[in-house]
Structure 1
């Protein structure tokens, strides 16, 4: 059954960490909805390879509209976590135990949402200490799956495993 995946994204996202999972989700029949501060805005990846037109503004959506949350890496999650609307949006997915897929720096949004305590997770090397301080049970492996709900990966090399496990959780 097709699921609708909220994707929180802004400028300086890691290009392949958005494009490859988004393609895998769409190829499996799921809908990927991009969310930023305003609908119609264009955001650009940090490699300048990808430009994404935003589908919805954060004020026009609520977690109950979606089946899962996807947080691509790059500098995007760090920018988004400065905005309480995105923090609360992500926190609600975690609190309701809806699927959350966060790669590379994506868990930064979950750190700010105080949603990693006791959760098995991984992330980019430079945020692993932050994740530990946030109470995550940190593992250094290509993909971590916690309670068939939270899927995290460290870096672009881990995308195939990230996609595989994210799609398994969506089944």
Structure 2
């Protein structure tokens, strides 16, 4: 099965992490949480979920993983100021391996400058940012464009999980 990097920081959207993570693990995929500092504990916006960072961004390479999962919330905005994170995201998208992004996750893709001529969705407040990054914004539950799977918000989680699991096969 796949080894999935989960790029995450404080204030992630709890359910956008927990539901897909549980579904991926139930299908036999291994999740490795990647963040700024190994061993730190990051918390969801609603404090319902806590995640221990398995590896710092400085310890990982795209080659270590089969897919990248980016939950939404404020986590992507917090991560996008880190140059190592941006390089990792850019290299991951360019590798052709699956990138699974929900809600505010496209903020990282925007900063990594990998959305030109792509189709993507995300939370409505970042629609114009996505368009300004050169992508076509689609207001749909799931948008799949080559290796990129994106969804808008927590209400799309079942469809996001289904599309992601299909991509991971």
Residue 73 (str. 1) matches residue 45 (str. 2): no
For residues 118-161 of structure 1, the C-alpha deviation after alignment (integer angstroms, 9 at most, x for no partner) is: 111100000011000001111001110112x1000000000000
CA distance in 1, matches of 2:106, 2:62: 18
SS of 1:145's equivalent in the other structure is: strand
Which aligned runs of 4 or more in structure 1 are off by greater than 2 angstroms?
none
SS of 1:11's equivalent in the other structure is: coil
SS of 1:163's equivalent in the other structure is: helix
1:121 corresponds in structure 2 to 120
SS of 2:134's equivalent in the other structure is: coil
SS of 1:130's equivalent in the other structure is: helix
1:92 corresponds in structure 2 to 91
2:153 corresponds in structure 1 to 155
For residues 7-37 of structure 1, the C-alpha deviation after alignment (integer angstroms, 9 at most, x for no partner) is: 1100000000000011111011000100111
**TM-score normalised according to structure 1 size:** 0.97
Query: Where does structure 1 lack aligned partners over 5 or more consecutive residues?
Result: none
1:32 corresponds in structure 2 to 31
Query: Where does structure 2 lack aligned partners over 5 or more consecutive residues?
Result: none
SS of 1:118's equivalent in the other structure is: coil
For residues 22-79 of structure 1, the C-alpha deviation after alignment (integer angstroms, 9 at most, x for no partner) is: 1111011000100111111000000111111111111111111000100000000001
Matches for 1:40-79 after TM superposition, within 5 Å: 40-79=39-78
Number of equivalences: 169
SS of 1:49's equivalent in the other structure is: coil
